[in-house]
């Protein structure tokens, strides 16, 4: 181990949000040794004068994006390779994201196996920021395809179950339509350690409750591509609100969900709501259009849509989501920051390692200015300093 790897790095936080309380601690020093938080202590006058310390206005647990399809002109479905994952992680870091679950959406047959293989290799070779994999489909509902290719949506079969449960991925999130799964499948997936979310689903509230009893953990992009809350049928949305434990990703870009619904979700489930980007390759990239399943997608006024106006992913970073919910949904900063780190870590079962700034935990940290621009990102102690957001 080199001297650089063992040297203690220090961050001076004028406001430290530790992921536990909503109120920040003032003037704290976070020390990092060998990729982990080794100390958190009050700052001294000597710290402020130190040459080997980095000062930031706001310091918080590193952002975790549970759903990101692409960034920096790279799209996982188009090229499921280690190089794509590296590029996506770099693009996401410009928006403050420390860790991503690269998301591979519905594709023909068993194309998802290429995504599993690429992610396993990226983790083996220690590409910074690759936390695991999110497979969104192809085991979805034909009634709620969204922008996914209807021709590729299909049932989960026994050989799919074998492939999914035998992967080497420690963190695998799988979005399915629970009502479309064969009996017993949800429990078998859950027992294998897979974090199963409901999405692109027409399920009733009773079906969601049954799926939850069998291991369902959360829902994907709340409000979008799912059965809605009505007077006599709560649907997926109502079942999520009524639950005491289901997590939910939500896209806070101002296009996917009305701000009043974002605010409602935050009030009802502040410890279970996770801000996600659902970003496509245009994020932190140069392209303004691409083809998806042979359909032309264009970026206009911050929206990615096809010719019929259907949304096709998002063009938003996590730090933009943060600013959005604070400004437009009235969510307190400390609560919003937990929706970017603490809550996603719990949703993935990684709360012992990530989501809080605590001695012994992984030193994954997002640093911001007072006006909520990214000033620094640490991934397992590695210092990445994006020019801005």
Nearest to residue 274, comparing CAs of 201, 193, 323, 335?
A: 335
Angstrom distance (rounded) from CA 139 to CA 155: 5
136 is in an annotated binding site: yes
CB 201 within 8 A of CB 174: no
Residues whose CB falls within 8 Å of the CB of residue 321, separated by 6 or more in sequence, listed in order:
251, 252, 253, 275, 276, 277, 340
**Strand 25-33, strand 36-42: pairing:** antiparallel
312 among annotated binding-site residues: yes
Residue 222 phi, psi dihedral angles, 5° rounding: -50, 135
293 is in an annotated binding site: no
Instruction: Find all residues with CB under 8 Å of 42, minimum gap 6, and list them.
Output: 27, 28, 29
355 among the known binding-site residues? no
Identify the active-site residue in 73, 278, 301, 383. Answer: 278
Q: Is 315 annotated as a binding residue?
A: no
Q: What are the Cα distances from residue 273, in Å, to 37, 71, 212?
A: 26, 23, 17
Known catalytic residue at 258? no
Residue for token digits 């397992």?
380
- The verdict on whether residue 224 carries a ligand-binding annotation is yes
Is 311 known to sit in a ligand binding site? yes
Question: According to the annotation, is 200 in a ligand binding site?
Answer: yes
Q: Which residues are catalytic?
A: 278
Known binding-site residues for Zn(2+) equal: 136, 200, 221
Known binding-site residues equal: 136, 147, 200, 221, 224-225, 232, 256, 311-313
Known binding-site residues for substrate equal: 147, 224-225, 232, 256, 311-313
């Amino acid at each position: 181990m080199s001297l650089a790897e063992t040297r203690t790095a220090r961050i001076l936080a004028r406001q430290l949000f530790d992921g536990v309380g909503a109120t920040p601690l003032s003037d704290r020093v976070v020390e990092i040794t060998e990729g982990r938080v080794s100390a958190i202590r009050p700052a001294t006058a000597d710290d402020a004068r130190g040459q080997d310390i980095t000062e930031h206005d706001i310091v918080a647990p590193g952002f975790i994006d549970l759903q990101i399809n692409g960034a920096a002109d790279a799209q996982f479905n188009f090229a499921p390779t280690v190089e794509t994952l590296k590029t996506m992680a770099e693009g996401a870091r410009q928006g403050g994201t420390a860790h991503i679950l690269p998301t591979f959406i519905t594709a023909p047959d068993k194309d998802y196996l290429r995504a599993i293989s690429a992610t396993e290799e990226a983790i083996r070779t220690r590409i910074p920021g690759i936390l695991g994999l999110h497979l969104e489909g192809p085991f979805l509902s034909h009634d709620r395809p969204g922008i996914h290719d209807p021709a590729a949506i299909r049932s989960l079969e026994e050989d799919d179950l074998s492939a999914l449960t035998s992967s080497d991925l420690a963190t695998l999130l799988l979005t399915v339509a629970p009502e479309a799964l064969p009996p017993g499948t949800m429990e078998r997936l859950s027992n294998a350690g897979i974090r199963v979310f409901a999405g692109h689903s027409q399920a009733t509230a009773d079906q969601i409750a049954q799926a939850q009893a069998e291991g369902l953990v959360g829902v994907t992009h709340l409000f979008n591509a799912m059965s809605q809350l009505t007077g006599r049928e709560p649907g997926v949305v109502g079942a999520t609100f009524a639950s005491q434990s289901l997590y939910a990703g939500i896209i806070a870009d101002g296009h996917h969900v009305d701000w009043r619904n974002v605010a409602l979700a935050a009030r009802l489930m502040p410890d279970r709501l996770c801000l996600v980007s659902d970003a496509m390759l245009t994020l932190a990239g140069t392209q303004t259009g691409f083809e998806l399943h042979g359909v032309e997608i264009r970026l206009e006024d911050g929206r990615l849509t096809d010719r019929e106006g259907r949304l096709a992913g998002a063009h938003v970073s996590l730090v933009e989501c943060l600013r959005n919910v604070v400004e437009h949904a009235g969510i307190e900063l400390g609560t919003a920051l937990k929706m970017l780190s603490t809550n996603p870590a719990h949703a993935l079962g990684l709360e012992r390692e990530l989501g809080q700034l605590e001695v012994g935990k992984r030193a994954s940290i997002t640093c911001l200015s007072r006006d909520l621009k990214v000033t620094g990102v640490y991934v397992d102690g590695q210092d990445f300093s994006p020019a801005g957001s």
